[in-house]
Each structure stands twice: as C-alpha cells, then as structure tokens.
Amino acid sequence: MSFTPNIQVFCCHYTSQQAIAEGDDGLRKSGFPEGAVINRLSCSGKLQVSTILKAFEKGADGVCVVGCPVDKCHNLMGSQRAAHRVSAVKKALEELGAGGDRIEMSHLERGFHPEFIETAKIMMERVLEMGPSPFRDAMKPVADKAEKKAGKETAKKVVEKPAAAKKSVSAKSAAAKPAGKAAKAPVKKAARKGGKK
C-alpha cells in the first residue's frame, strides 16, 4: 500500500531556530521530507502527553520530538521531562498494538544540523515500512462527531445569547418595580404620623 506518511515533528525553539530560519523551501531542498510538519515549542518540556496523543488522533503516522541535549537544556529539566513523556507514549502505543516505534525523541545541539533532517527522514522511512497509523481511520469518525457537536453548541450559544440578555433586562426591570413601591410606603406612613401630631 502506497501512502505519504504524516509525520509531526515537535521541536524545541532552540534546536529548531535555524531550521525555521531556513524556511520551508530551504528545508525541502536540504532533504527534509514531504509530509513532515514542524511544530515549534518554547521548550520540549512543554510538550504534554495529551498533545502527542492528539497528534495521533488527528492523523499522524509518526511523531518526532527534538530537544536540547539533557545537560544543555535552556530550561534545565525540559529535555528530561520530554523524554519521560515520550517513553510513556511509546509504551502506551506498544500496549495498544499501534507500535511504539511510531514515536522517537532526539537530542540535538542548537543550530541547524544534518541530524535534524535525518531524524525526520528516519521516522518517515520507518513509518513507510509500518504502514498508516491504526488511529487514522479509527479516530476519524470520533473526531468528526466531536467537531460537528462543537459547531452545533457554538451556534446554539449564539442564538441563546440575545434571548438570555433580554431575559436578564426584563428580570432587572421586574426587580426594580417592587423596590420602588417599598420605598414609597415608609414615606406615606411618616407623613401620617406627622399629621396626627
């Protein structure tokens, strides 16, 4: 089965800075594979397990996480945190039968290195051998349903908002009327007392 793998590359700002500066054309000319998409992060340690899983849910066949060397992380523990999370996802994918090799982490020095492109190429070749992610078709109906539901709820809120605002104004007006009557009663009573004297 021939297909173009969807590879999501999550990169630390510092390790991808020069790669981003090269621009898409520059990267492709250097051999960065088609189908690989760079997602830039302020630090690889900011990448959450839920974000990685979401990437697979949305159709990723493979994920590469690129961070600084463990002992040179700008945010001290960022690369270590990312490595632990990648290991957790790798284990989960293995247990689900999707293949733990669909995710990998690399530690690269700052700047633009051939290894940056090589990381994406290796994942691309690996996924081509493994085939499409089993989550591609399995998660599409769920994702479509969630998206459709989100659209309906948004439309419902837009329709209900003016009605709710109108109701709020009416409620305020109704609440203001009894308050006015209550204020007049003590004044009349005081006037009568004054008349008796």
Last residue of a domain, one of 133, 157, 174: 133
How far is the C-alpha of 132 from the C-alpha of 125, rounded, in Å? 12
At residue 183, the pLDDT reads 46
Which residues are 39's β-sheet partners? 10
Q: Burial of 163 by CB count in 10 Å (0-12 exposed, 13-18 middle, 19+ buried)?
A: exposed
pLDDT above 90: residue 30: no
Amino acid at the residue 89: V
Per-residue confidence (pLDDT) for residue 70, from 0 to 100 = 81
The residues, ordered by sequence, that sit 6+ positions from 104 with a Cβ below 8 Å of its Cβ are 63, 64, 65, 86, 119, 122, 123
More confident residue, 79 or 19: 79
Give the residue from 96, 114, 133 where a domain finishes. 133
Query: What global pTM score does this model have?
Result: 0.66
Residue 116 shares a structural domain with residue 185: no
pLDDT tens by residue, 67-109: 888 887 877 788 899 999 999 999 999 999 999 999 999 988 8
Tokens of 131: 């085939």
Dist. CA 141–CA 4, nearest whole Å: 21
Name the residue type at position 181: K
* Encoded tokens for 45: 């340690």
Residue 33 sits in the same domain as residue 127: yes
% of the chain at pLDDT higher than 70: 61
The winner for highest mean pLDDT among 28-32, 91-95, 153-157 is: 91-95
- Count of domains observed in the chain: 2
CATH at 94: 3.40.50.960
Residue 52: the pLDDT is 94
> Does residue 76 belong to any structural domain of this protein?
yes
Residue 82: name the closest of 44, 28, 50, 120 by CA.
Answer: 44
Coil, helix or strand at residue 112 = coil
Domain holding 85, by residue range, is 7-133
| Burial (CB count within 10 angstroms: exposed 0-12, middle 13-18, buried 19+), residue 154 | exposed
119 and 83 in one domain? Answer: yes
